[in-house]
Structure 1
């Protein structure tokens, strides 16, 4: 007599509960749950929870598809076939509706700049109509082929819809996964050693700081436009005046306090203001605030990581590392300073190296399985690790865990590419301040990619096991309804070699530099070997990070090193920016000042050697002597002798002797 599935039912329910809690914590990290509207929060939650449950559902389906004669006690977690099939139908069609209708509509609705709901709905419908018309045109061509192959039946139309959705998702998934299978292990390996990790952070700093400066300037220009509109709102209607006043209240630029005479005019403001112009301005303001919050968060996190990494390197002599946890923390600090140092400086780097080797081996096995499974699926690595003997016996719990691990790594490799390739415009995930349109877009991608990757995973298993799964009975039969669909599902995964080779040899970055598009390459693949400012080298990044940390320590303020909470839709005046107002608007000047300080320290302009050249001993000696004389407190009765020159610059003659610059064009030996 077959055993009962009560234990498996309890395990599946508990797993779903854990997945739901994990998704809620993830949403809480990127979105403020209290201020995020429910109509946005619930679809995004479903779009993340359903794909995560598919990772659990695939191994359960594999174990549940064993023959009836098999003893259920030797199987892992399993459910009745009717329950599995019903679960697949609910999960798939909910994911389908979220991917193609609900989330695109919500994304454009949140991105709209209109005030009232009706105008937002119309704007979202118009924006999505273009994409839906293109999709509908492609579907008509596919429908003709399906009718010619199988006749005009309801099953043909259903198969067409599912096959097209699968094909588009598989194309995107294979490209992203191929990139991630190479980039993810390499990123872990490059950041394993503490010194290399610090050098990589310093190499990324100039690019991040430049993007932050551009975002601050862009937002400041838009807020200046709002302030100019505020001065000329008297001749408008009441609704337009309230709209402009709402926009002006959210402005944080210090130029808002200037008079209209001193504020530069904006020639782009039309003579007659319309509702569409104000909606477009509102949408640009929301995107600019998101852009500023995004790069401010990235710059803050980069500076903090560089500071902590530098602290580990500085503790090499004392072999002790103090705790960064506050004294009133809930959990006690169980590590001693010496043990904490050895953990951060020795154990974790070796653990990262081992992890990078494991991930690299898993990537090689996955690529081999993708290439060999269309021809000999029984010898693919995926098949040998999950079902090594045959598919006649049900999968055990260890085999299910291996299946879930393989599928999870495929998902992580694919989704990690979404955050590293800068080809998605202004979309990004910002802790506690993610733009609603970005949240819907990332949730849409997760929902879109999970089903094709899951079906592609089970095609690498033995065919007799594949044909018995409810996933194949529900989706696979419709994909293989025509010879074209069956051939596409088998052959196209072999094209994973194209993104793998492109990422291995950094073809994205080479093509991007050739055509002038900087964002095509991986964000972590910058070589960072440039020396001076303007080249994006690590020396420039070190100077920028040190200047930011010194300003933070001197002012005892946040200066961009804290996260920001709240919505970016129309934030209230009380929402403090990550950077203080004066600091944010002067960031460009600070960057130039830091670059001048860097050039003064390295003597790039005078020496002409470049920052990578070796510094001579007399340069360091001269700087030390100069600093000694500059820092000496002289009594009031002491006067500089005439032969030393004037005191207007605090001892310029001594500076010229010991490494200072000649202000009047004279040469320095």
Structure 2
């Protein structure tokens, strides 16, 4: 009897792999729908962005499958595995598509969208010119490396391919280590910070002045460019007549008119247009106009979410007294369960006040341990990789040559997913990328291409760096190492670089942990500050950009007097800092929002009548400095004060009493009495205002010294 051994067939694994790819595609579509308008985005832009996100996501799936496929024995493995040839083809497709997308297609598409020209040919030429300098630098480096590799190893196709892959890997690894080091600290730290509602509200208030100033700058910039378009529309002769259709398209495009008027109205804001209108000038104006519109949409979205978050957090704080939480009827953006109907106010209070903060603390502690394990694995992998945390959780029995199981695959996917998430958090937190940003349903096309290329550029170096955590004998048997690792180690540029350089992950970790970005910002003026540094340097919140100014700006917005005029969010003030100390019922008093740029003084027991602000037509109110604001408060005190009661009840001397038979002498003495009364009243109120100011300054100095 002859026994025939049939080859093991991975039918179940093939089905799982196909379903996983479909789920990844659906997930990527949901992400694109969140940040882009799918129907309005052209296909030549949507398809490359989709591939640039779906292919890196599939790498997180391919690495565990490669580990199980390379370690299986002849009887198969109890995990998701594929034949070696299929795994190699998948790696080739994923890597080279990501490479082409990152270094060629997405940079050209980004400049093509941002060109400002109308004709496709002009857009392509502008994109090629814009990328020529960058591509020439890359080509020069590649030429120098090719000469060196040809002299050392000979001129063959394998050496050239190894040089290209090593250059791409080194650049991606440098960027990935820096961003991942920042994210490994930022993820648990943000969870710990957000567990405290009061601290979270204070950080939101610190962010408010910066975002509000940028919003106002974006509005003014857009209005200035719209004014230039209006001037172009008024020209009916000369060279402007040749581009009349282009000018009309600029004036009719979305965002040309806005209900928000600019803050500054001067002849300089509108700008001047040249006498001769050229295609290059109109393309530059179109490009600036597109950037200004998306810049305004970005800060409008950030300001709206910040105000909504502040309102929700303040509602959570105020519900501590009544044990009932109600966010209102407005749609929530920052709440976790916006449409859940079965939550009563009492259950919602315990959910947001007790359950969610506890979960944040638990996840923060868990992710802190995970971050520490990754850093430990980076430091120990060159000396003893068998004791790294990744090895102990993924392949603890690698010496026994046992195949990788399904549990080890899940652990490998979790490690790799957390490392990629930390790098993406670093991309979002370290805002040194210019004006690029992700906006909900309104992301600029150039920004979308840049973020997609950055995600694609980071994934493969992080995946190979994760593979270096494993023992050398085990990782050399994987298909990924056969495809990428050998070519990287072929050149002196990549040989040993992936083992030595990741030690420098301690630099971004220490910079984020000890807030070196805030110190660098103060020295050089870069926008790398941290909110914690602003709170520590100014705990009292006085001065421009303090949390008190942010509190006033947010309150004005909630009352319907702010930049967005959100009148539907309710007009009652709910700030906990405005409550009186002896109020045990948790009620809040209604405050009139202060003018922009002024500081709200400490509440006093004397209630003064408040006058409505005057509106001056054709003239905008300028922002006041500290001395002007103090002088206005003193003037308002003198104008609205009443005669003190102790002065009215005081007994006057005989020479000031007006009991004289001489009418003329009595009239003069009465005038003297009124004058002295007014002078004494003014001096008394001036002394009280001065003492109040000194009390405020002493409190601020004491908070600063503490």
TM-score range for the pair, normalised by the shorter chain length: 0.7 to 0.9
Which residue of 181, 189, 194 maps to 1:186? 189
The aligned counterpart of 2:464 is 455
Match of 2:302 in 1: 298
Deviations 1:565-617 (A, max 9, x none): xxxxxxxxxxxxxxxxxxxxxxxxx9982333xx3x41xxxxxxxxxxxx5xx
Cross-structure match for 2:234: 231
Shift of 1:535: 3.4
Q: In the alignment, which of 593, 606, 616 is matched to residue 622 of structure 1? A: 606
Distance 1:217-1:388 versus aligned 2 partners, 3 A rule: same
Contact 2:558 2:566 in 1 (8 A): no
Matching residue of 1:444: 453
Shift of 1:457: 0.4
- Cα distance in 2 for partners of 1:337, 1:656 equals 49
Provide the rounded CA distance (Å) in 1 between the counterparts of 2:155 and 2:179. 36
Mean Cα displacement is larger for which, 122-131 or 245-254?
245-254
Does the 8 Å contact 2:71/2:402 carry over to 1? yes
Residue 595 (1) aligns with residue 583 (2): no
2:82 counterpart of 1:79? yes
- Measure, in 1, the Cα distance between the counterparts of 2:275 and 2:260: 21
Alpha-carbon spacing, 1:534–1:326, altered in 2? closer, same or farther (3 Å): closer
Q: Highest relative contact order (Cα 8 Å, sep 6+), 1 or 2? A: 1
C-alpha spacing 1:195/1:464, structure 2 compared with 1 (3 Å)? same
Matches within 5 A, 1:97-108: 97-108=100-111
3-state DSSP of counterpart to 2:476: helix
Pick one of 421, 425, 431 that aligns with 2:430. Answer: 421
Distance in 1 (CA, whole Å) between partners of 2:40 and 2:505 is 42
Match of residue 632 from structure 2: none
Q: Which residue of 2 aligns with 1:352?
A: 360
* Mean Cα deviation higher: 25-34 or 312-321: 312-321
Q: Aligned partners of 2:274, 2:259: CA distance in 1, in Å?
A: 21
Conservation of the 8 A alpha-carbon contact between 2:114 and 2:287: yes
1:198 aligns with 2:217: no
Q: Is the 8 A contact 2:206 2:547 kept in 1?
A: yes
Matches within 5 A, 1:109-508: 109-236=112-239, 238-250=241-253, 252-253=256-257, 268-322=272-326, 324=328, 333-390=341-398, 392-508=401-517
Match of 1:580 in 2: none
Q: After superposition, give the CA deviation of every residue in 1:85-106 in whole Å (9 maximum; x if it has no partner).
A: 1000001111111001110010
Contact 2:72/2:404 (CA < 8 Å) preserved in 1? no
Whole-angstrom distance in 1 between the partners of 2:49 and 2:148:
35
Go from structure 1 to structure 2 and tell me whether the alpha carbon gap of 1:486 and 1:522 turns closer, same or farther (over 3 Å shift).
Answer: farther
Q: What do the CA deviations read for 1:42-64 (whole angstroms, capped 9, x no partner)? A: 11001001101100110000011
Separation in 2, partners of 1:226, 1:255: 17
| CA positional deviation for 1:256 | 13
Query: Structure 1 residues 491, 336: closer, same or farther in 2, change over 3 A?
Result: same
Contact 1:103 1:441 in 2 (8 A): yes
Q: Is the alpha carbon distance of 1:324 and 1:266 closer, same or farther for their aligned partners in structure 2, counting shifts above 3 Å?
A: closer
Contact kept, 8 Å, 2:315 with 2:326, in 1: the verdict is no
The offset of 1:334, in angstroms, is 2.3
CA contact (8 A) 1:187 1:524 kept: no
Distance between the aligned counterparts of 1:420 and 1:169, measured in 2? 18
Whose Rg is larger? Answer: 2
Give the Cα separation in 1 of the matches to 2:683 and 2:123: 62
Task: Tell me, yes or no, if the aligned pair for 2:192 and 2:364 is still in contact at 8 Å.
Answer: yes
Q: CA deviation at 1:165?
A: 0.7
Task: Return the alpha-carbon distance in structure 1 between the equivalents of residues 139 and 684 of structure 2.
Answer: 70
Q: C-alpha distance in 2, partners of 1:34/1:94? A: 25
How far apart are the structure 1 equivalents of 2:146 and 2:313?
A: 58
Question: Using the alignment, how far apart are the partners of 1:103 and 1:408 within structure 2?
Answer: 24
2:20 to 12, 15, 24: 15
Normalising by structure 1, report the TM-score.
0.83
CA distance in 2, matches of 1:534, 1:319: 35
Alpha-carbon contact 1:293-1:433 (below 8 Å) kept: yes
Return closer, same or farther for 1:316/1:199 CA change in 2, 3 Å cut-off. Answer: same
Closer, same or farther: CA 621–96 of 1 in aligned 2, 3 Å: same
Contact 2:224/2:269, CA 8 A, preserved across alignment: no
- CA distance in 1 between counterparts of 2:683 and 2:227 reads 40
- Contact 1:113/1:283, CA 8 A, preserved across alignment: yes
Aligned positions, number: 594
Separation (CA, whole Å) in 2 of partners of 1:591 and 1:174: 46
Deviation track 1:452-493 (CA, whole Å, cap 9, x = no partner) reads 000000011111220111000100010011344211122111
Equivalent-residue separation in structure 2 for 1:48 and 1:240 (angstroms) = 39
Match of 2:518 among 509, 518, 525: 509
SS at match of 1:229: helix
Question: Which SS does the other structure have where 2:559 is aligned?
Answer: helix
Residue 52 of structure 1 is matched in structure 2 by 57
Closer, same or farther: CA 667–241 of 1 in aligned 2, 3 Å: same
User: Judging changes above 3 Å, is the alpha-carbon distance between structure 1 residues 234 and 60 closer, same or farther for their aligned structure 2 residues?
Assistant: same
1:536 to 524, 545, 552: 545
1:534 CA displacement = 4.5
| Residues 397-431 of structure 1, C-alpha deviations (whole Å, 9 max, x = no match) | 11111111110110011011111112100000000
CA distance in 2, matches of 1:47, 1:214: 33
* Residue 255 (structure 1) shift: 11
Structure 1: tracts of 5 or more residues without a match: 560-589, 603-614, 632-647
How far apart, in 1, do the equivalents of 2:541 and 2:314 lie? 21
Q: Structure 1 CA distance, aligned partners of 2:304 and 2:683?
A: 40
State the distance in 2 between where 1:222 and 1:475 align: 50
TM-score using structure 2 length: 0.79
Q: Distance in 2 between matches of 1:456 and 1:591?
A: 53
Task: State how far apart, in whole Å, the 2-side matches of 1:223 and 1:630 are.
Answer: 36
Contact 2:224 2:271 in 1 (8 A): no
